[in-house]
Amino acid sequence: MTPATLYGLCSAVLVGAGLYGALVNPQPLRKILALNLLGSGTFLLFGVIARRGAAAGLGGDPVPQAMVITGIVVAFSATALAVALLLRVYQETGRTTLEQPAPKDVV
Amino acid sequence: MIAPAALLVLAIILPAAGVVLALAAGGRGAERVAMAVIAGGAAIALAIAGTLWSTGAPLSYIIGGWAPPLGIALRADGLSAFMLLTSALVIGAIGLFARATYVQPAGTPERRAPLVFWIMLMGVWTGLNAVWLAGDLFSLYVALELLTFSAVPLVSLEGKPETLAAALRYMLFALIGSILYLLGCALLYGGYGTLDIVLLSRLARPEPVVFVALALMTAGLAAKTALFPLHLWLPPAHAGAPAAASALLSALVVKGSFILMVRLWFDSLPGIAGDGAAQFMAALGSAAIIVGSVLALRQERLKLMIAYSTVAQIGYLFFLFPLAGAAGDWERLAWTGGIMQLVAHAVAKAAMFMAAGLIGEALGHDRIAGFAGLGRALPVVMFAFGLAGMSLMGLPPSGGFVAKAMLLTASIGEGQWWWAVVIMIGGLLAAGYMFRVLTPALAGGAAPVILAARISRPRQAIVLGLAICALLLGLMPLRPSALLEVGRTTQAAEVR
């Protein structure tokens, strides 16, 4: 087994675990954490692809690395925004769950 | 004189610069910055569409002179031009409409909501223009994230607990959608070493890695577009937002991820998915039309009804996949019909949400049961609401009629009559939920309606103007649009 295959399998496990967690957990905070796990698996996959040097047959490909850096920035901002929203929900209602299906009053 | 291709950069830079300037200018200056950006953005959209119309060729701009696959290209084809014009029109109307709500008069303490609204409005516009123009799948990912991060705060602008919960649910759906999309990008890059749309369309072959990537990306984008059965986040988010924000979210934001799906299926990976997958997408669209319309019929509140109607109207867009896939006369008609449905729904739904906002402001509530006699109290607003409703029902002459007639004709022409049946049932159900509102409002009640607040004439005029635009779209001839074909036929020819 080459290192690239090993890391590829690790990324598949992370993606699987993250997706399972995001779909099964009803708690928003756990969903956010699971989505981060899913994101990490995706970034690792980019790393594996960079190592394979898909673009020009070189030892490594810099383009996926650039994408991962952008992806990490985006994932970081997304997590910050989601956690901030969750904190506001907690401050306003004292709950950290989303059981209400629809708003009671929309005007 | 600016080179036409440089306009593509300007279309993205201008609203982005507006975001930064508005932040620097603070609450009182933000509105003026937004108005300047709206004027400039409309001029840029017209200039790009005008160039495409006169030359009949797509525009492209290579950023920094670095050609793909290493660099990034911006491209404008006929679809981009249509979407640029639609977003400029709808955002312009929303901006003018919102001035009354998000004003900061001198001498009053600054509120946070106006500053956030104007910044997020321009943020959404930056994201949308980037989605319309980006030439590679990774730039599209970044554009989509920009769109989401600007749209989510608009939902919870008023900071009420239920809107915060709606915003959080929207955010979670959007996050899972974008990560699945990014995972698909990784797989495609691993397979072909490029994410540039044109290069990818030449390299991609029907093989397992492409199928997995396409499935992951489509599922992720469907969650962001609120395609049935992933629509659960949409009604509370769109109905809970303030009127101007609801109009923006329902008219344009959900269309961003849909256009991305179109770029993926038709431009990046043409002919990969096969007919079964296309039929499956349209089947989900049909389910969205039926379920969304039936749920809209059952709502007691106007804004929730309009939000469920968005779920239904989005369903029509997915007929594009089985009907416009191949090259032929019927397919070209379906292509124009599908995109017209998108444009017509954007214009009509923005007008309708703004009309609902005015009704809510005037009455102090938006319960449909309390609308008897409203036509006499708010004649202009109800007229605009009815005109926008004509487009949703698909009555002639309206943009919705043109779109649905083209889709209907194409589906019969291609021998896929079952979609025609769904289109007709959808029209009847739409008439049902529209008349549920219009009939009591126009028939008049026993007692005169007491209005809680007066609505200024200019705001009524903006809503009416946009509703009339939705009607004027119906004057479009019932044949494939030449502008919409720009860049499409050449690309298809390159592939084959």
| pLDDT confidence of residue B490 | 42
Domain boundaries, chain B: 286-496
| pLDDT confidence of residue B182 | 93
Residue of B nearest to A21 (CA): B176
- The 10s digit of each residue's pLDDT in A52-106 is 765 555 667 788 888 899 999 999 999 999 999 999 888 888 777 776 544 444 4
Instruction: Give the whole-angstrom CA distance, residue A35 versus residue A42.
Output: 10
Instruction: Give the whole-angstrom CA distance, residue B302 versus residue B382.
Output: 13
Determine, for residues A98 and B182 on separate chains, whether the beta-carbon distance falls below 8 Å: no
Report residue B493's pLDDT band, with 50, 70 and 90 as the boundaries: very low
- The 10s digit of each residue's pLDDT in B260-308 is 999 999 888 888 888 888 889 999 999 999 999 999 999 888 889 999 9
Reported ipTM: 0.89
Say which of A31, A77, A98 has its CB closest to residue B165: A98
Res B249 pLDDT > 80: yes
Query: Rounded to two decimals, what is the model's pTM?
Result: 0.91
B69 prior amide bond cis, ω within 30: yes
**Which of B70, B160, B168, B195 should one mutate to test binding to chain A, selecting the residue with the greatest count of A CBs within 10 A?**
B168
| pLDDT confidence of residue B258 | 94
Say which of B171, B235, B366 has its CB closest to residue A81: B171
Determine, for residues A82 and B168 on separate chains, whether the beta-carbon distance falls below 8 Å: yes
Instruction: Give the whole-angstrom CA distance, residue B104 versus residue A38.
Output: 43
Residue of A nearest to B190 (CA): A49
Per-residue CA distances from A90 to A79, A98, B16, B159 (Å): 16, 10, 32, 12
Instruction: Give the whole-angstrom CA distance, residue B487 versus residue B112.
Output: 44
Structure token digits, residue A61? 């490909």
B229 prior amide bond cis, ω within 30: yes
- DSSP per position, chain A: --HHHHHHHHHHHHHHHHHHHHHH---HHHHHHHHHHHHHHHHHHHHHHHHHTTTTSSS--HHHHHHHHHHHHHHHHHHHHHHHHHHHHHHHHS-------S-S---
Structure token digits, residue B495? 């592939």
| pLDDT confidence of residue A57 | 59
Residue with the bigger pLDDT between B72 and B492: it is: B72
Neighbouring CB atoms inside 10 A of B439's CB total 12
Class of domain A3-93: mainly alpha
Instruction: Give the whole-angstrom CA distance, residue A82 versus residue B229.
Output: 23
Q: Are B346 and B251 in contact (CB under 8 A)?
A: yes
Instruction: Give the whole-angstrom CA distance, residue B170 versus residue B257.
Output: 14
Report residue A107's pLDDT band, with 50, 70 and 90 as the boundaries: very low
Ranges B185-189, B351-355, B364-368: which has the least confidence: B364-368
Domain boundaries, chain A: 3-93
Q: What is the residue whose two structure tokens read 């494939």?
A: B480
Residue of A nearest to B72 (CA): A63
Instruction: Give the whole-angstrom CA distance, residue B126 versus residue B212.
Output: 30
